[in-house]
Amino acid sequence: MASSRKVTTMSMAGLRRCAAVVRLFLPAAISRPLGALANGIIAPVRFSLATGHWKSSIALSARAADGTPLPWYTYPAIDFLAQRDFHSCHILEFGGGQSTLWWSARARSVLTIEEDADWFARLRSEVGPNVSLHHIPVDRVTRTIQPVKDLIATSPIQKFDIIVVDGHLRQEVTGLAFDCLAPLGAIILDNAEGYGFYAETKERLCRRIDFFGFAPGVTRRHCTSIVFVDDCFLFRADIPIPVIEDLT
């Protein structure tokens, strides 16, 4: 990622020099419309290259600009989470994928419950030793989550610092997530504008922050929400505001 940022910074420096030359030799009536047109073209290209959106689209999986895995959350949520420290945290995921690999590289432990047999088989060969991966099919007739409850009941970890709801029976496991949430922990709801998330959370004594935006490899914006009760370690005031890109 550092090399990608370096290339992007060098490219932007070159563009700024070109823009300065254009402004120097052309009247404002010409240079300003040219600059506006250039911004309209360059900004989406920069976004796609810098975030890995282009690479994700081609690879059909969520990836950063350097090819490393990304969660399939919105980019604002990814940027927010990437600046936090999870090394001592226990993660529970309902729905595995690139996010499992991303959390595995950052957290103490990850318990992932995946409903799709093919995706489970693919992930099993890729996850690290701190990941406990389990396949539990979804019963869409009875919509029961009892097998999920039984699995968590046998886990050495009963309370989780981060719980991600991005698969399985999303509305049902959201209710379960509140029971499994550690003090100061957070629940991450992906595609939060749907799946009954609002209906499940609106009457609870909790707080919600919505991160709207594009996600890796997709063309429509959606929402990743972070829900917490009372307080949350992700929002400590002493966490520095990061510099995502060089603004000089």
pLDDT tens-digit readout, 147-196: 999 999 999 999 999 999 998 899 999 999 999 999 999 999 999 999 99
Question: How many domains is the chain built from?
Answer: 2
Same domain, 36 and 85: no
Same domain, 47 and 147: no
Bridge partners of 111, per DSSP, are 92, 132
Cα 115 to its chain centre, rounded Å, is: 20
Residue 248 in any domain: the answer is: no
Contact 228, 186 (CB under 8 A): yes
Residue 136 in any domain: the answer is: yes
What is the three-class DSSP state of 158?
coil
Higher pLDDT, 234 or 49: 234
Residue 200 in any domain: the answer is: yes
Residue 242 in any domain: the answer is: no
Same domain, 7 and 84: no
Contact 19, 35 (CB under 8 A): yes
Residue 67 in any domain: the answer is: no
Q: 197: how many CB neighbours lie within 10 A of its CB?
A: 22
- Give residue 139's pLDDT band: very low, low, confident or very high (50, 70, 90): confident
Residue 142 in any domain: the answer is: yes
Same domain, 160 and 194: yes
Same domain, 132 and 19: no
C-alpha distance across the termini of the chain, in Å: 19
Q: Mean of the pLDDT values across residues 16-24? A: 60
Same domain, 130 and 187: yes
Got the DSSP string for 13-81?
Answer: HHHHHHHHHHHHHS-HHHHHHHHHHHHHHHHHHHHHHHHTHHHHHHHTS-B-TTS-B--SS-HHHHHHH
pLDDT value at 222 more than 60: yes
Residue 229 in any domain: the answer is: yes
Spatial CB neighbours of 127, under 8 Å, sequence gap ≥ 6: 100, 101, 104, 110, 112, 133
Same domain, 45 and 168: no
Among 246, 243, 75, 71, which Cα is nearest to 165's?
71
Spatial CB neighbours of 234, under 8 Å, sequence gap ≥ 6: 80, 81, 84, 186, 226, 228
Among 108, 109, 96, which Cα is nearest to 61's?
96
- What is the structure's pLDDT at 35? 62
Residue 160: which CATH number?
3.40.50.150
Cα 189 to its chain centre, rounded Å, is: 10
CA-CA distance, 148 to 162, in Å (whole number)? 17
- Give residue 10's pLDDT band: very low, low, confident or very high (50, 70, 90): very low
Same domain, 118 and 155: yes
Same domain, 104 and 149: yes
Same domain, 100 and 165: yes
Residue 247 in any domain: the answer is: no
Strand stretches in the chain, DSSP E: 90-94, 109-114, 131-135, 160-165, 181-190, 207-213, 222-228
**Amino acid present at 83:** Q
Structural domain of residue 115, as residue ranges? 75-235
Same domain, 128 and 37: no
